[in-house]
Chain A
């Protein structure tokens, strides 16, 4: 009886019965509001791109792109002004280089230790401390570089070695402070990648007679490599974009040098010292700031896209 009752319902009536009795305008309003929140991120990116590109296009109307990218003389506020961006790009890259020289061995060592060697108790103790290190404000690292790292470098640097003696502002001091700052990024993301390596791989290697060090270096490390590389790329992007440390400890001397103990100007330091709020919109120096910022944005964007892609790859393999 009942079965025939259902069958008797005309098919056209069925969809109506599944829908809500009232139109639910409130639900639609909420949907719209939530969608607006999510779309805000796209609006932000668009605003960043527009605010960087419009003054940059005006800038490249005054200065040719090749002069900008390959010029070796940076003095946009001097008379006559010169707009060769290479000295400050090299400044940024050499600070990043010294940061990585410090942070990669320390960060990866800490990651392998936490993932493969530490007992659960030790890990529970050390991981939060690393997270605290990640929460220290950047100005603290900059100040630390100036008042602690610089005097130490000046004390132990062997005379004229590599362009010494070291000055009050130096690439190395800023680089080491940024290195300490990015250790938690490398350590925690790499540790996640290593912990995601299935136990079976480790046990298989042990069963074949491998020692613990061999399991860590020849099994776990290669298996987690894409995550490890992603963590390093993310750290590079953070080091390139760091402003306060270079502003405080590396100085503002735009010169093309590879010496670790000379003062240079990094790209972010140029922006930080020149963009101070009272700068007139549309002036050449205003446009220069945005051209440098556009270059910085493109450098970090490339790093981030690469890192996101690598992280996705290692997730797909083991989850």
Chain B
């Protein structure tokens, strides 16, 4: 007859301690070579991540040192000027704000609309849906300068013929970052459980009422994260604006229907100037841009983690 096993009994404690000791002894007799190899491997891995983080720190630190003298309110209250002592980012910031206003206006309905269609209306097995899916994945990988050429050939010139204005830049950037919003929104919509939809439909709501009142509100945090990441990408992009006439030195304040300028474009122009004063200015501008994008991205990441819902 065996007694019931009680892990708190004295005999069990002795047995457990013995087993622990044997295990520890076996593990400690691991060959010395293995121990050394393991340590070297782990430190190499740590070195890799340290180099990546150090690169980021040096990048920020170098700009901080170079641009320190220009990091003041003048940087955002002065218009751009050919005189480096007076130049600032004010008109570029206003230009970026105008572009972003138009981008948000187009990006949110188009991106969320496409995501809703693919998740709620699309038949997973239909050719069209599969084509659209592969297509969006590929669009995400098209180099940004090619979007600039698309904007030049299709939007600025015939067939749309809008010229080199804020709307042209905004449409080009919207097409560029649309895949980011579609992919993020699809994930957010997919995470809403089917029972929510079925409950709503069972109560007599139509499909669109279900989407508008149940599915979309539940997926707002995920969609917002995607939108913020997309906008921060659009703010930082320079290359697609170059073929749209952004290489010129703009010193006036842009309005909604004028020629455009944007923060990275102005900074790029400063980088190209030979005078050292412009280099300090460029460093301060880069720092401001990084700070803006880091704040936006951190907010997006925080939003995603904070409102990540488990049903």
Contact = CB atoms under 8 A, between A and B. Distances in A.
Interface in B19-62: 30, 34, 37-38, 41-42, 44-49, 51-53, 55-56, 58-59, 62
Contacts of A301: 138, 141-142
Interface stretch (A4-12, A73-81, A128-136): A128-136
B150 A47 contact: yes
Contact of A146 (B232, B239, B247, B271): B271
B268 interface: yes
A20 B286 CA distance: 58
Nearest to B233: A135
Interface in B103-130: 109-111, 113-114, 116-118, 121-122
B69 to A, nearest CB: 15
Binding site secondary structure of chain A: helix
Given A34-B114, A147-B283, A243-B239, A131 B247 contact: no
Contact of B143 (A37, A114, A240): A240
B107 to A, nearest CB: 11
Contacts of B116: 34, 37
**In this complex, which of B157, B232, B245, B271 has the most chain A Cβ atoms within 10 angstroms of its Cβ?**
B271
Given A45-B139, A106-B52, A142-B271, A131 B145 contact: no
B290 A211 contact: no
A201 B41 CA distance: 20
Contacts of B213: none
Contact of B59 (A136, A277, A278, A296): A136
Interface in B193-213: 206-208
A148 interface: yes
A197 B152 CA distance: 45
A140 interface: yes
B34 A277 contact: no
A101 interface: no
A318 to B, nearest CB: 18
Interface residues of A, number: 92
B281 to A, nearest CB: 12
Contacts of A41: 114, 132, 135-136, 139, 178-179, 182
A109 B146 contact: no
A69 interface: no
A135 B58 CA distance: 16
B153 interface: yes
Given A109-B44, A139-B238, A39 B144 contact: no
A143 B283 contact: yes
A248 B271 CA distance: 8
A275 B243 contact: yes
B134 interface: yes
A30 B141 CA distance: 30
B41 A133 contact: no
Contact of B146 (A31, A48, A248): A48
A107 B34 CA distance: 25
Residue in B47, B52, B59 whose Cβ sees the most chain A Cβ within 10 Å: B52
Contacts of A305: 138
B294 A277 contact: no
B294 A135 contact: yes
Q: What are the 5 closest A-B residue pairs judged by CB atoms, nearest first?
A: A109-B48, A241-B143, A277-B245, A137-B236, A37-B113
Given A35-B117, A41-B179, A132-B298, 15 more contacts: A37-B117, A41-B139, A48-B142, A48-B146, A48-B150, A126-B49, A130-B52, A135-B232, A136-B59, A139-B236, A140-B289, A147-B62, A217-B41, A240-B143, A277-B244
29 contacts: A20-B206, A24-B206, A37-B113, A42-B135, A44-B139, A45-B135, A51-B150, A112-B45, A128-B298, A128-B301, A131-B297, A132-B294, A136-B56, A136-B290, A140-B286, A143-B286, A147-B66, A148-B59, A180-B52, A241-B144, A241-B146, A243-B239, A244-B239, A277-B243, A293-B145, A300-B141, A300-B142, A301-B141, A305-B138
